[in-house]
Structure 1
Amino acid sequence: MPLTMASVGEVVSIIRIGGKEEVKRHLESMGFVPGTHITVISVNNGNVIVGIKESRVAISKEMANKIMV
């Protein structure tokens, strides 16, 4: 399922990253790689804030839809 469907407080594991190669590289540079566990901290108008590797990262709904968990 896409990350946008995960519930607040849920811990999920990244299965794969979709989209164009440049989008994949951008997400990977922020730590979004398959196998990584992330926590959904909040969702606001579809935009998602996640906890990843002891950091909080905000991503757009469009980006979050490309992250399969």
Structure 2
Amino acid sequence: MPLSFTQIGETCTVLSLQGDDTMKQHLLDLGFIAGQTVQVVGNSSQGIILSVKGVRLALNRGLAHRINVA
């Protein structure tokens, strides 16, 4: 399921990334590595606020849709 479909308070695990090599590297640099736990802190129509490795960051829905989680 894409990360963009998650709800506030959910904790999920990154499974895979979609996109070209540049996009995947950008997401890897942000900490979205397979097996990494991600918590959804906020969710709106513009984007998602996440906690990754203790750091909060915001992603727009387009980027969040490229991250597959379970």
Using structure 2 for the length normalisation, give the TM-score: 0.94
Question: Which residue of structure 2 aligns with residue 24 of structure 1?
Answer: 24
- Tell me, yes or no, if the aligned pair for 1:4 and 1:46 is still in contact at 8 Å: no
In 2: Cα distance, 1:61 partner to 1:24 partner: 15
SS of 1:15's equivalent? strand
Describe the superposition over 1:21-52 as per-residue Cα deviations: whole angstroms up to 9, x where unpaired. 11110010010111000000111214011000
Please tell me the root mean square deviation across aligned C-alpha atoms, in Å: 0.7
Aligned residues: 69
4+ residue runs over 2 A deviation:
none
Distance 2:6 2:44 in 1: 13
% identical equivalent positions: 29
Runs (5+) with no aligned partner, structure 1: none
Structure 2 spans left out of the alignment, 5+ residues: none
1:14 touches 1:36 (CA, 8 Å); kept in 2? yes
What TM-score comes out, normalization by structure 1 length? 0.95
